[in-house]
Structure 1
Amino acid sequence: MTTRPLAALLAAPLLALTAGVAQAHTGVGDTSGFAHGFMHPIGGLDHILAMVMVGVFAAQLGGRAVWLVPASFVAVMALGGALGLAGVAVPFIELGIGLSVVVLGAAVAFHLRAAVPIAMALVGFFAVFHGYAHGAEMPEDAGGLAYGAGFVAATALLHAAGIGLGVAIGSESGKIGQTLVRVAGAVVAVVGLGLVTGVV
């Protein structure tokens, strides 16, 4: 059994707890250009955990889900971003983002065997909230387009990290690895509950 990937998987949620919580939400930080957009999704604990869990969930499902599930998240997130940019009112943004961490962590913990369209719809639902949080503060100019490209790129990379962890740990280590992936999902779900309730 490879110990480094296992340690990385277990350490990721714990290290994330030391990051600034909810710093990637509306009204926080600079909002111009690719670099600011790229840093935005990785500036908040809830965003990081949700994005990585999308990737791990897709890896658990395997097959076409490995690319369709993350792709659906990115596509719907862009739509949510457009709603935020347009100033369309979408309720419960913070709650939706927090619940995404809970639900996606639980999906990994319980090894949810959803059909690909259902998995796409599940992550797409939560992608609206994440996208809106980014789009609501995106400037309506060329810098805003670069900003949007940055947060889409960062999201895709976080998904890829989740897929990599899910595949590396879940397949190379057999049942022990799959159990560790599920434990990590449970930890993320518990952290999500803390975010929703304000404990974390």
Structure 2
Amino acid sequence: MNADPLKKFSFAALLMAAATMPAYAHIGIGPTSSFSAGFDHPLSGLDHLTVMIAVGLWAALRGGKAIWAWPAAFVGVMLVGAGLGMAHVPVPFVEPGILASVVALGLLVALAVDLPVSAGVAIIGIFALFHGHAHGTEVPENAGGFEYMMGFAVATAMLHAVGIGVGLASGLRYRALTRAAGALCAAIGVGLAFGAF
């Protein structure tokens, strides 16, 4: 990949991050002390759904080790972020980071950006930290949160698997469909950032 598309992608992601307003879509929403509540949470909002599926789509496009490494990185770092949120350790720009993740991961799929697996792990890990922290801050003080965390980890892994399945089923012949799904994810992110959804 030449530097020009990467510069354009970086600029677009930075612009979206700067332009986003906090969604306030996570703090204190619904019950947060059971496996089922945790499982339901990633299924309850477009920001969660699009990012989790986009990670799977991008992993399928990249192929090889990315198919397991990128989803595993997301789930693992998300759980670390949840632990930080439960411990009330502040992480800056969580809500804008979540919205930027929808746009950025959608663009990575739409542009079929081919990065080394380690670079993908780093990008995905940063976004996963934001998502996990938002989840962790939802757990009330009087609840351990373990069941809730396991619920959203399982649901997240399942959404990654959906993205991988769609990406692999599309194959090389219908690669454009996977990329179009990435463009849709990015468009949803823009809509979320500007309050259209």
Structures share fold, TM-score greater than 0.5: yes
Structure 1 CA distance, aligned partners of 2:153 and 2:24? 17
2:190 equivalent to 1:193: yes
Quote the residue 1:150 is aligned against. Answer: 151
Specify the alignment match of 1:43 in structure 2: 44
Once the two structures are TM-superposed, the CA of residue 59 in structure 1 deviates from its matched residue by: 0.5
- Residue 23 of structure 1: how far off its partner (Å): 8.9
Per-residue CA shift, 1:36-69, capped at 9, x if unaligned?
0100111111000000000000011100110000
* Residue number in structure 2 paired with 1:58: 59
Return the alpha-carbon distance in structure 1 between the equivalents of residues 24 and 153 of structure 2: 17
Indicate the residue corresponding to 1:78 in structure 2: 79
Aligned partner of 2:13 in structure 1 is none
Q: Which runs of structure 2 are paired with 1:107-126 in the superposition (5 Å)?
A: 107-126=108-127
1:182 aligns with 2:179: yes
CA contact (8 A) 1:23 1:43 kept: no
The one-letter amino acid paired with 1:181 is: T
CA positional deviation for 1:140: 5.2
Give 2:15's aligned residue: none
| Structure 1 residue identity aligned to 2:110 | A
- Give unpaired runs (5+ residues) of structure 1: 1-21
Is the Cα–Cα contact under 8 Å of residues 41 and 154 in structure 1 kept in the other structure? yes
Structure 1: 4+ residue segments shifted above 6 A = none
Task: Report the secondary structure of 1:40's partner residue.
Answer: helix
Aligned residues: 175
Q: Offset at 1:142?
A: 6.5
Contact 1:24 1:42 survives alignment (8 Å): no
Counterpart position of 1:33: 34
- Residues of 1 paired with 2:32 and 2:96: CA distance? 22
Q: 2:39·2:153 contact (CA, 8 Å) conserved in 1?
A: yes
Q: What TM-score results when the alignment is normalised by the length of structure 1?
A: 0.83
Superposed CA offset, 1:125-184 (max 9, x none):
10011001110112456651111100100000000010001000134xx1xx11111111
Cα distance between partner residues in 2 of 1:31 and 1:24? 14
Aligned CA RMSD, in angstroms, stands at: 1.5
